[in-house]
Amino acid sequence: MAIKSINPATGDLIETFEELSDGELHAALQAVGPVAVDWRETSLGKRASLMKRAAVVLRENAAKYARLMAKEMGKPVVQGRAEVEKCAWVCEYYADHAADFLKDEAIESGAGRSYVRFAPLGTVLAVMPWNFPFWQVFRFAAPALMAGNTAVLKHASNVPRCALAIESLLLKAGFPENVLRTLMIGSSRVGRVIAHPVVKAATLTGSGPAGSQVAAQSGKMLKKTVLELGGSDPFIVLPDADLSLCAGVAAQARTINAGQSCIAAKRFIILDGVADAFLDLFRRNMETLVIGDPLDEKTQVGPQAREDLLQELHAQVTRSVEKGARLLLGGKPLSRPGFFYPPTILDGVKPGMPAFDEELFGPVAAVLRVKDEEEAVRMANRTCYGLGAAVWTRDTRKGEALARRIEAGSVFVNGMVASDPRLPFGGIKASGYGRELSHYGIREFVNMQTIWIK
């Protein structure tokens, strides 16, 4: 099957790639094996030097990579450059801190000396999504490679040129060939890669069904997995919140990357006393956002990444309105080339509507009005997801107390949920398991080996 790169701002075909044949796939995996042995023996100092060089290559080519993302999946170039900078940051972070994160940990026992060492597992399969086509890869790769693992990358089929660019930039930085190898294959062949003896573990960022399939296939082979899946993050606004500030952040949190982010704010849970005032400010902020060509520096909201995603999003909005949600803004695809959906606000959303029960992967805000903090927490937790959440209040003690009651991997008080190399990132429930980033992330794909000496 051909893998196609299509410009979502125009619908035009950019380039077509042929999938690897069975023989080519087997040869690629076989080639990775010997490199994994050599790479695990490479000193941490050498790995750190190469990782810092990767950060340099990223920054030197930031404009080029931002344009590539804009053309291949519709990310505005301003956001694309920020994504490249974040990739450089995570490379430098692990180059600077991996030695400390991976140092032997002494533990007292009945032995003369006992400790835990953190040894690489080998080659890890990374199944990555299209929405942050550079960051998602580097979020995994920087800690995994610094830990001494190698990787095979099955990137999303609509961003093949991004996948090849990442492999190329690592080679340019001096990494040995096949330390990270792109596999140009479709999703149906992921199971075959998981089953290959050279692959020791797998990580996936993507949809729930895809995560479930990878987990099942890996489980049959007794191989470790980390899954970062969907989210329907609550954004709770209490009566004492700075409404002007949080309404502006709310618009950004809902529309960044055209709303195509797992940790985007999606369900806006507003207490009755301030709901009208918040919605007035929120709507004004959403209305002023510039929609357009992602290559234009002024664009803030680009297209949806694929036509089928646009159609699915509009169907969710339509069904929610049919069930009683009130459309305050937007609500239908734009009449122009490409896959554009405008910033949209649905008020009066309730459980049982797609806007509440499902993940809206686009710039659509679902607004719920609640009577008090207790109902706000109940509504926040009344979801199968548990990735991120935000609470807005001038009383930070109250905000922290509410944060501790919310079922999510990350809760931000008076801030927009974001991933940070210094903090663990991941979810619970249908949002997945395991953690990326910080010292927790680098230890996901290692053998925590106990050494006991009498």
Q: Which residues are catalytic?
A: 228, 262
Q: Which two tokens stand for residue 278?
A: 């918040």
The residues facing 294 across adjacent strands are none
- Which phi and psi angles does 173 have, rounded to 5°? -75, -10
Cα 150 from Cα 140, distance rounded (Å)? 11
- Which phi and psi angles does 51 have, rounded to 5°? -65, -35
Q: Which two tokens stand for residue 230?
A: 């969907």
- Cα dihedral 63/135/192/21 (nearest 10): 0
Cα 152 from Cα 135, distance rounded (Å)? 16
CA 131 vs CA 209, 263, 374, 375, 453: distances in Å = 17, 12, 34, 33, 48
Q: Which two tokens stand for residue 128?
A: 């990555």
Pick the closest to residue 205 from 309, 125, 129, 265 (CA basis).
Answer: 129
Cα 227 from Cα 202, distance rounded (Å)? 9
The DSSP result for 296-364, as a single string, is STT-SB---SSHHHHHHHHHHHHHHHHTT-EEEE--S--SSSS-----EEEES--TTSHHHHS---SSE
Pick the closest to residue 229 from 385, 408, 107 (CA basis).
Answer: 385
The answer to whether the CB of 19 falls within 8 A of the CB of 200 is no
